[in-house]
């Protein structure tokens, strides 16, 4: 309470400042309202009432101008019932446990399709054959045929014929197909419970049900069968625990007499059959719908159909596990009902049934008219703008010249533009000056330095001992030259993964010096070059992906003939060679021998004399490889936009879809078309109007994090920031053993001691993950920038001394500082503030300039690329 | 959130929205309780925050190698050259006894779990191996916590990983040098994770600490701050890429430099009665102890160190390592004959730990704070010719208290000669894994993807002590 008045005052100030945009922007208004209401609690009651009244007024005014969203649907014209498996107008429900989710969709005069499950009511003729509950979930009662009629708004109806069969002759329950998915759906076999290694309280299930035979063993045979009781199924420990009849650490997971309960009960009743080998298995699952435009606070029922190897289908909606990838955007219930919130954008809902996955994407438009788009400069803009129009999300303005030049020079060359570059660019009147700047920077060795720094970290160019120096330097030099010569990317990768010999003569061999064992080699290759994290599949089926252990070991087989012997000149290193023989790897679980297999491809037999790694490189660089080009363009997209189209950039999977899939496809196609030309890719991205948008949000896109409607600022990387401070203070950092003038981005490896670089998140090059580099802010960074001897030493010499001796007027000198630090002219007000500070400190001009430079270094405008 | 753990509210963020978190930020941290602060941590900028359970660890590390026999496994049925020199004392658990210097802890045995089958596996002064649970990154547990939870508390800037030496209580204290002086940094070393994640040592020097101490005249620093405030134009840029975090940390840094966080480290803010309850300065005479070479770094300030640890936990610190030195009791010319050093230090631990356990319970933090007491090894079962004991790694004292774990247990057994575990032997790996499970939602972390794989494996792949986590 002690500073309530101050807090209150702040609220009012802010209020006035932002009044204008409050009226325009509802989502943010909501946040403000909460803030205001919260603050009210800290103010006096009288003030509180006053303020509440004000809140009310603004809220009602704002509501009238809330952006349209999806917009009014118009009148309902047509209603349909989807089941995903209706054949010739008839839906068949076979067996006692069969069920079916109905999906009721309405087509409106506006062209919109909306889900009508929440409002539909159902009539069944004749009655008694089946039940339909209020959510549109159908369960059989007795054999026969009936018609379900769904009635919606205005009496508009649709119907479907349902035939119920196989109730009298009981179909045996299939354990892997029916029982195991229940464990997954209700979290029994999750990593936190019985699915963890060793199980929970003595009862173990295979993680996420990927090993049904093991589960069967544990349930039926372990503990002399006391978990199941065929004589009285309801007294089985499994059902008593799961339904809360006996104390259970995980609580009651489902009710007695719920569908999973009844199914498991029937399975026990039948004597716990496992199922036959010939029984059909699930080949894939299919979601209905796959995509939909949704209103704010909207609902969409999902429907999941499993397809079996015998061509049959089954509704598995109620035994599918659903997960939303952005809970802020939208949530999903256990029964597959998606609910959107207030935010604009796309929510992906993952569905998992057994080892199969599918995804639904619901998009909530903001609904503002997007009429001021910059002229498109190619397919990137076409596809980004298409999405923005679809969302009704207007992009920010184009960036100013100074901002653009600074952004571009940092992103391509890893440094600030020089004062001279800035001055020339600002006065240049040529319409193509941005394009020329891009070409100039790409041709410079600074581009190669900066990207060598990026690749060096993820290629793990790590110096373990000083004797390795020659090799890490050599590898860095090789990467730098590859970037400078614009070596085609497929060639670059091939030279790394097929590297043989001694790293003294063939630098990429150094990768094998650091990435030592077979699993590290294949995991790094998958993560770094294919954007796939297949580590999970080493021990069990990948939880979110189709990768099985066979896939993992098939991929591992490519590295099975990597030979290694000590280098004659340095015992710390190895020479790499191809060990003649048949390439294969063993799946440790099945003992099966697996031939080299690209991910999702077919196995290949490789002659004993051929190095399988060449075949791997061939497979990766094939134009139809679905991962290789996508992974790279996504990695580079993230470099420039600070968020990948798929994010994290090295975790690409069906269940982590791209925010703009068409754009990812187009970038990949263009990259392949250009013969894996990295500079072409950079040029294409940098020339897009999307990349050149301002970072400053307009009234609508402040919350946008995935659609690139503005440039997302990112903090300068550790090395770039140190170099920039060096330039601004005119005090270059000297690195031990390197020529003076060597910049931090040019360091050949990461073994140079620097508290500054470490604190700002320089990676240790210990893994293939870009996440090793942290751009996060922390306290140590700001203590360093605000108050360290290191920075004070830089401030105290160099630039401040030069400026103190410089006889020009202060305004001219302040202008120099702004052009160098921020690549722009200072505002008159800024010159006035800085000049006033200098005057105040007369005669100690040098100290005053130290202060001004210190302040500039600590502004977010300096610390961030924006 | 994609999750393969079940839907129970397993991690601490349930029901705690970003907005509420921001609200806390807006109000200032003054009126917040520990659970609030710990929960707020989950909402820290990164998705990794989701895996942080919001509990604190206090690791009381008895450096030098405390005897497992004279502490919690007195073995009075063994021959006289083995059994506890000083005898035993009954505990609150029928049939279980502790060494006779631990009467207060014995009376609280129902609020701790003692592991008698634990050994560090190393008969040397290997702090780092124990504190890192022998993990491959060589990062100690506090550093791992800091890497996952962030180096500072998101609301008030209190460091996440703190090392408390006796010098933290009395900066004037001039302890002598011995082998421990050089070994101490390994107790909290960050290994491969990098210096950012090392422990904050309020008295230990290093650039982080020196950067907290104002280097300019205060007036000039304030002037600079005003200048920065008027030149920083980016107030309206949206919160992406960490702009707001930068603001927050810059603010915190200013607060620390000009004297804010210091409060959490300031015992004069405590009720004098609480300070008195913890105080151990009466247990032995500092000068008497310091005469012995192997006890040069021993001090009688442990009680206040423990109080400071509790204070830091309350301020939102997630991992406090309390260092208590001087436990290398060979009883040769470097420490008193007949384990005399143990008698001093043991009584101090008994007092300080008991005060901590009571205080934490009285404040309702019993389930939020886990106290772990151990050292780098135990002592040889056979008493040496000086009446002392030498290095021994097969058995080592290990006690857990609180943290929401099952208490009142004696876990495992040693053999009749106190030479090795006769039940499943536990090692530092198991201690590490147990503590990781207390700190993190390990199942969630397995799929979180925010950590480099080698570090993630350290956290997710271990086996915890069964009796504490099943």
- Angstrom distance (rounded) from CA A721 to CA A794: 14
Contact A620, A630 (CB under 8 A): no
The per-residue pLDDT for A28 is 31
**C-alpha distance from B134 to closest chain A C-alpha (Å):** 18
Q: In this structure, are A212 and A286 located in the same domain?
A: no
Contact state of B252 with A782 under an 8 Å Cβ cutoff: yes
Phi, psi at A172, each rounded to 5°: -60, 140
H or E element, residue A520: helix A518-529
The total number of structural domains in chain B stands at: 2
- Angstrom distance (rounded) from CA B257 to CA B13: 31
Using an 8 Å CB-CB cutoff, list chain B residues near A769.
452-453
- Angstrom distance (rounded) from CA B253 to CA B259: 10
Contact state of A830 with B231 under an 8 Å Cβ cutoff: yes
Q: In this structure, are B65 and B113 located in the same domain?
A: yes
Interface test with A, best of B194, B213, B450, B456 (most A CBs within 10 A): B194
Q: Which residue of A has its CA nearest to B233?
A: A861
Angle, nearest 10°, between helix axes A445-458 and A678-687? 110
Give me the domain span that covers residue B239. Answer: 215-257
Mean pLDDT (whole number) for B160-180: 84
- Angstrom distance (rounded) from CA A173 to CA A168: 14
Q: Which two three-digit tokens encode residue B251?
A: 């603010």
Mean pLDDT (whole number) for A630-636: 97
Residue A853 domain-assigned (yes or no): yes
Q: In this structure, are B330 and B401 located in the same domain?
A: yes
* Domain finish residue from A121, A139, A165: A165
- Angstrom distance (rounded) from CA A74 to CA A114: 11
Mean pLDDT (whole number) for A514-533: 93
Contact B364, B35 (CB under 8 A): no
Contact state of B2 with A764 under an 8 Å Cβ cutoff: no
| pLDDT tens track for A263-301 | 899 899 999 999 888 888 889 999 999 999 999 999 999
A 273-332 residues with CB below 8 A of B? 323-325, 327
Residue A656 domain-assigned (yes or no): no
Residue B465 domain-assigned (yes or no): no
The per-residue pLDDT for B49 is 73
Give me the domain span that covers residue A157. Answer: 76-165
Q: In this structure, are A43 and A129 located in the same domain?
A: no
The total number of structural domains in chain A stands at: 7
Could you give the dihedral angle defined by the CA atoms of residues A543, A548, A549 and A555, in that order, rounded to the nearest 10 degrees?
-120
The CATH number of residue B275's host domain is: 3.40.720
Q: In this structure, are A768 and A734 located in the same domain?
A: yes
Q: Which residues pair with B17 in a beta bridge?
A: none
- Which residues, 6+ apart, have CB-to-CB distance to A552 below 8 Å? A522, A534, A537, A538
Checking DSSP bridges between strand A585-586 and strand A100-101, what pairing results, if any?
unpaired
A95's torsion region: left (phi>0), alpha (psi -120 to 50) or beta?
left
Query: A65-68 contacts: CB < 8 A, separation 24 or more?
Result: A65/A23, A65/A24, A65/A26, A66/A26, A67/A25, A67/A26, A67/A366, A67/A367, A67/A368, A67/A392, A67/A700, A68/A366, A68/A367, A68/A368, A68/A392
| B209 pLDDT above the threshold of 80 | no
The per-residue pLDDT for A13 is 30
Q: Which residue of B has its CA nearest to A347?
A: B1
Interface test with A, best of B242, B456, B457, B466 (most A CBs within 10 A): B242
The CA-CA-CA angle for residues A531, A591, A533, to 5°, reads 10
A 770-789 residues with CB below 8 A of B? 771-772, 775-784, 786-789
The CA-CA-CA angle for residues A572, A574, A580, to 5°, reads 160
The per-residue pLDDT for A755 is 86
The per-residue pLDDT for A25 is 30
A 649-688 residues with CB below 8 A of B? 651, 655
Residue B42 domain-assigned (yes or no): no
| pLDDT tens track for A441-464 | 999 999 999 999 999 999 999 887
| B366 pLDDT above the threshold of 60 | yes
Q: With H, G, I as helix, E, B as strand and everything else as coil, classify residue B67.
A: coil
Mean pLDDT (whole number) for B50-78: 95
Q: Which two three-digit tokens encode residue B111?
A: 């609020």
pLDDT level of residue A52 (50, 70, 90 thresholds): very low
Contact A778, B151 (CB under 8 A): yes
Using an 8 Å CB-CB cutoff, list chain A residues near B470.
200-201
Q: Which residues pair with A339 in a beta bridge?
A: A299, A331
pLDDT level of residue A244 (50, 70, 90 thresholds): confident
Mean pLDDT (whole number) for A559-564: 94
Q: In this structure, are B233 and B333 located in the same domain?
A: no
DSSP conformation letters of B172-238 = T-----SHHHHHGGGGG--GGG-GGGSPB-TTS-HHHHHHHS--S-HHHHHHHHHHHHHH--GGGS-
Residue A677 domain-assigned (yes or no): no
| A655 pLDDT above the threshold of 90 | no
Residue B309 domain-assigned (yes or no): yes
The CA-CA-CA angle for residues A484, A489, A491, to 5°, reads 100
Using an 8 Å CB-CB cutoff, list chain A residues near B6.
186-188, 190, 192-193, 250
A713 interfacial to chain B (CB closer than 8 Å)? yes
Residue B2 domain-assigned (yes or no): no
Q: In this structure, are A334 and A260 located in the same domain?
A: no
A200 interfacial to chain B (CB closer than 8 Å)? yes
Mean pLDDT (whole number) for A404-425: 97
| B15 pLDDT above the threshold of 60 | no
Burial grade of A753 (CB within 10 A; 0-12, 13-18, 19 or more)? exposed
pLDDT level of residue A197 (50, 70, 90 thresholds): confident
Residue A183 domain-assigned (yes or no): yes
Residue A522 domain-assigned (yes or no): yes
Interface test with B, best of A462, A786, A840, A842 (most B CBs within 10 A): A786
Contact B248, B25 (CB under 8 A): yes
Residue B118 domain-assigned (yes or no): yes
Contact B57, B319 (CB under 8 A): yes
Residue % of chain B over a pLDDT of 90 = 59
Residue B35 domain-assigned (yes or no): no
B17 interfacial to chain A (CB closer than 8 Å)? no
DSSP conformation letters of A196-226 = STT-BTTB---GGG--HHHHHIIIIIGGGGT
Angle, nearest 10°, between helix axes A678-687 and A433-443? 150
pLDDT level of residue A626 (50, 70, 90 thresholds): very high
Residue B12 domain-assigned (yes or no): no
B95 interfacial to chain A (CB closer than 8 Å)? no
Contact A541, A547 (CB under 8 A): yes
| B159 pLDDT above the threshold of 90 | no
Pick from B230, B159, B251: nearest CA to B201: B159
* Domain finish residue from A103, A132, A165: A165
**C-alpha distance from A144 to closest chain B C-alpha (Å):** 39
Q: What radius of gyration do chain A's Cα atoms show?
A: 32
**C-alpha distance from A94 to closest chain B C-alpha (Å):** 31
Q: Which residues pair with A162 in a beta bridge?
A: A91, A146
- Angstrom distance (rounded) from CA B384 to CA B391: 11
Residue A319 domain-assigned (yes or no): yes
Mean pLDDT (whole number) for A524-531: 95
Q: In this structure, are A120 and A255 located in the same domain?
A: no
Residue B33 domain-assigned (yes or no): no
Q: With H, G, I as helix, E, B as strand and everything else as coil, classify residue B361.
A: helix
Mean pLDDT (whole number) for A632-644: 96
| A50 pLDDT above the threshold of 50 | no
Q: Which residue of B has its CA nearest to A331?
A: B1
Q: In this structure, are A841 and A743 located in the same domain?
A: yes
Using an 8 Å CB-CB cutoff, list chain A residues near B442.
191-192
pLDDT level of residue B262 (50, 70, 90 thresholds): low
Residue A431 domain-assigned (yes or no): yes
Contact state of A705 with B240 under an 8 Å Cβ cutoff: yes
Pick from B108, B22, B122, B124: nearest CA to B72: B108
Q: In this structure, are A721 and A861 located in the same domain?
A: yes
| pLDDT tens track for B56-68 | 999 999 999 999 9
Q: In this structure, are A128 and A243 located in the same domain?
A: no
Q: In this structure, are A351 and A316 located in the same domain?
A: yes
| pLDDT tens track for A577-619 | 999 999 999 998 889 999 999 998 999 989 999 999 999 999 9
Q: In this structure, are A719 and A852 located in the same domain?
A: yes
Q: In this structure, are B278 and B344 located in the same domain?
A: yes
Contact state of B243 with A786 under an 8 Å Cβ cutoff: no
Q: In this structure, are B308 and B441 located in the same domain?
A: yes
Burial grade of B239 (CB within 10 A; 0-12, 13-18, 19 or more)? middle
Q: In this structure, are B96 and B238 located in the same domain?
A: no
Nearest beta carbon to residue B19 from set A3, A31, A772: A31
The per-residue pLDDT for B415 is 94
- Would you say the C-alpha torsion B202, B208, B210, B211 has a positive or negative sign? negative
Using an 8 Å CB-CB cutoff, list chain B residues near A766.
192, 452, 454
Q: In this structure, are B192 and B242 located in the same domain?
A: no
Q: In this structure, are A183 and A243 located in the same domain?
A: yes
pLDDT level of residue B206 (50, 70, 90 thresholds): low
Residue A34 domain-assigned (yes or no): yes
Phi, psi at A859, each rounded to 5°: -75, 150
Q: In this structure, are A296 and A336 located in the same domain?
A: yes
- Angstrom distance (rounded) from CA B23 to CA B19: 6
């Amino acid at each position: 309470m002690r500073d309530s008045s101050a807090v209150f005052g702040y609220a009012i100030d802010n209020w006035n400042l932002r009044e204008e945009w409050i009226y325009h922007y509802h989502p943010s208004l909501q946040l403000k309202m909460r803030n205001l209401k919260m603050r009210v609690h800290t103010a006096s009651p009288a003030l509180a009432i006053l303020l509440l009244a004000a809140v009310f007024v603004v809220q009602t005014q704002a509501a009238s101008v809330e952006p349209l969203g999806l917009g009014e649907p118009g009148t309902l014209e047509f209603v349909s019932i989807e089941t995903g498996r209706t054949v010739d107008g008839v839906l068949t429900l076979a067996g006692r446990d069969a069920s079916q989710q109905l999906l009721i969709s309405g087509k409106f005069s506006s062209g919109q399709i909306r889900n009508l499950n929440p409002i539909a009511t159902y009539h069944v003729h004749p009655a008694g054959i089946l039940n339909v509950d209020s959510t549109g979930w159908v369960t059989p009662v007795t054999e026969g045929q009936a018609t379900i009629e769904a009635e919606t708004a205005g009496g508009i109806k649709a119907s479907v014929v349902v035939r119920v069969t196989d109730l009298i002759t009981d179909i045996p329950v299939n354990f892997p197909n029916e029982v195991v998915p229940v464990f997954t759906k209700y979290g029994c076999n999750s990593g936190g419970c019985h699915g963890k290694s060793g199980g929970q309280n003595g009862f173990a299930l295979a993680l996420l049900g990927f090993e049904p035979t093991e589960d069967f063993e544990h349930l039926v045979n372990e503990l002399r069968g006391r978990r199941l009781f065929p004589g009285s199924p309801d007294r089985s420990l499994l059902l008593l625990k799961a339904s809360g009849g006996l104390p259970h650490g995980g609580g009651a997971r489902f009710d007695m007499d719920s569908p999973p309960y009844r199914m498991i009960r029937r399975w026990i009743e039948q004597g716990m059959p496992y199922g036959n080998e010939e029984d059909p298995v699930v080949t894939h699952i299919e979601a209905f719908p796959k995509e939909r435009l949704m209103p704010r606070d909207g609902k969409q029922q999902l429907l999941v159909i499993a397809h079996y190897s015998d061509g049959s289908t089954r509704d598995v909606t109620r035994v599918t596990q659903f997960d939303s990838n952005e809970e802020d955007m939208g949530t999903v219930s256990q029964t597959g009902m998606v609910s959107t919130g207030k935010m604009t954008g796309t929510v992906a809902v993952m569905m998992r049934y057994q080892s199969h996955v599918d995804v639904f994407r619901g998009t909530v438009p903001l609904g503002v008219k997007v009429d001021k788009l910059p002229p498109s400069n190619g397919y990137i803009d076409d596809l980004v703008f298409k999405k923005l129009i679809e969302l009704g999300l207007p992009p920010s303005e184009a960036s100013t010249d100074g901002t653009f030049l600074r952004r571009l020079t940092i992103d391509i060359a890893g440094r600030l533009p020089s004062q001279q570059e800035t001055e020339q660019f600002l006065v240049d009147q040529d319409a193509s000056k941005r394009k020329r700047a891009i070409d100039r920077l790409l041709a410079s060795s600074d581009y190669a330095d900066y990207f060598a720094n990026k690749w060096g970290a993820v290629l793990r160019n790590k110096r373990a001992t000083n004797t390795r120096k020659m090799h890490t330097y050599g590898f860095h030099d090789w990467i730098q030259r590859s970037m400078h010569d614009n070596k085609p990317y497929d060639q670059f990768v091939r030279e790394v993964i097929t590297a043989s010999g001694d790293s003294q003569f063939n630098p990429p061999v150094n990768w094998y010096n650091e990435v030592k064992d077979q699993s590290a080699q294949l995991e790094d290759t998958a993560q770094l070059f294919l954007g796939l994290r297949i580590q999970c599949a080493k021990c069990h089926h990948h939880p979110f992906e189709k990768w099985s252990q066979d896939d993992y070991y098939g991929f591992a087989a490519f590295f099975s003939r990597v030979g290694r012997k000590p280098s004659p000149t340095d015992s710390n290193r190895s020479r790499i060679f191809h060990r003649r023989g048949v390439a294969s790897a063993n799946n440790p679980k099945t003992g099966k021998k697996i031939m080299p297999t690209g991910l999702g491809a077919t196995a290949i037999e490789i002659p004993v004399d051929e190095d399988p790694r060449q075949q791997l490189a061939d497979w990766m660089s094939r134009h139809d490889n679905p991962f290789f080009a996508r992974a790279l363009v996504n990695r580079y997209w993230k470099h420039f936009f600070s968020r990948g189209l798929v994010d994290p950039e090295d975790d690409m999977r069906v269940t982590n879809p791209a925010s703009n899939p068409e754009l990812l496809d187009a970038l990949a196609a263009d990259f392949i078309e250009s013969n894996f030309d990295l500079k072409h890719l950079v040029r294409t991205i940098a020339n897009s109007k999307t990349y050149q948008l301002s970072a400053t949000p307009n009234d609508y896109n402040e919350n946008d994090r995935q659609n690139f409607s503005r440039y997302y600022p990112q903090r300068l990387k550790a090395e770039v920031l140190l170099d920039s401070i060096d330039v601004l203070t005119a005090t270059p950092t000297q690195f031990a053993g390197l020529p003076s003038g060597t910049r931090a981005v040019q360091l050949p490896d990461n073994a140079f001691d620097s508290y500054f670089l470490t604190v700002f998140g320089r990676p240790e090059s210990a893994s293939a993950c870009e996440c090793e580099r942290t751009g996060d802010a922390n306290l140590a960074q700001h203590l360093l920038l605000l108050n360290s001897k290191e920075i004070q030493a830089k401030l105290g010499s160099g630039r401040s001394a030069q400026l103190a001796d410089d006889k020009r007027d202060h305004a001219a000198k302040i202008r120099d500082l702004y052009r160098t630090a921020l690549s722009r002219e200072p505002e008159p007000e800024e010159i006035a503030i800085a000049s006033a500070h200098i005057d105040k400190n007369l005669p100690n001009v040098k100290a005053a300039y130290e202060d001004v430079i210190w302040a500039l270094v600590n502004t977010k405008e300096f610390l961030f690329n924006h | 959130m994609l999750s393969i753990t079940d839907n129970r509210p397993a991690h601490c963020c349930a029901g705690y929205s970003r907005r509420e978190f921001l609200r806390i930020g807006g109000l200032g941290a003054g009126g917040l309780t520990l659970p609030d602060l710990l929960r707020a941590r989950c909402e820290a900028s990164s998705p990794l925050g989701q895996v942080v359970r919001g509990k604190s660890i206090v690791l009381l590390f008895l450096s030098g190698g405390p005897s497992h026999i004279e502490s919690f496994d007195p073995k009075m049925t063994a021959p006289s050259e083995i059994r506890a020199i000083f005898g035993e004392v009954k505990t609150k658990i029928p049939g279980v006894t502790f060494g006779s210097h631990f009467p207060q802890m014995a009376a609280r045995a129902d609020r701790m779990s003692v592991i008698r089958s634990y050994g560090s596996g190393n008969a040397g002064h290997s702090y780092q191996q124990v504190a890192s649970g022998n993990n491959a990154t060589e990062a100690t547990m506090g550093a791992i916590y800091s890497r996952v939870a962030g180096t500072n508390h998101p609301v008030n800037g209190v460091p996440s990983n703190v090392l408390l030496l006796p010098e933290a209580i009395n900066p004037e204290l001039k302890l002598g040098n011995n082998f421990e002086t050089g070994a101490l940094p390994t107790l909290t070393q960050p290994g491969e994770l990098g210096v950012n994640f090392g422990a904050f040592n309020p008295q230990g020097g290093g650039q982080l600490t020196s950067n907290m101490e104002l280097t300019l005249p205060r007036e000039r620093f304030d002037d600079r701050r005003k200048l920065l405030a008027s030149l920083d134009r980016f107030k309206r840029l949206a919160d992406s890429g960490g702009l707001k975090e930068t603001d927050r940390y810059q603010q915190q840094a200013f607060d620390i430099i000009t004297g804010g966080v210091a409060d959490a480290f300031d015992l004069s803010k405590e009720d004098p009665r609480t300070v008195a309850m913890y105080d151990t300065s009466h247990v032995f005479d500092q000068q008497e102890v310091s005469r012995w070479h192997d006890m040069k770094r021993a001090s009688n300030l442990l009680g206040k160190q423990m109080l400071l640890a509790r204070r830091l936990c309350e301020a939102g610190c997630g991992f406090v390592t309390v260092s208590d030195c001087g436990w290398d009791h060979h009883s040769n010319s470097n420490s008193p004959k007949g384990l005399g050093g143990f008698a001093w230090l043991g009584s101090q631990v008994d007092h300080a730990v008991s005060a901590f356990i009571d205080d934490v319970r009285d404040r309702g933090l019993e389930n939020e704070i886990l106290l772990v007491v151990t050292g780098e090894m135990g002592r040889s079962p056979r008493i040496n010719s000086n009446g002392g004991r030498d290095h021994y790694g097969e058995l080592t004292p290990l006690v857990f208290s609180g943290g929401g774990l099952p208490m009142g247990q004696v876990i495992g057994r040693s053999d009749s000669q106190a030479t090795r575990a006769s039940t499943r032997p536990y090692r530092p790996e198991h201690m590490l894994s147990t503590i990781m499970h207390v700190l993190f939602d390990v199942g969630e972390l397995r799929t979180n993807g925010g950590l480099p794989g080698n570090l993630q494996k350290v956290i997710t792949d271990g086996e915890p002590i069964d009796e504490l986590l099943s």
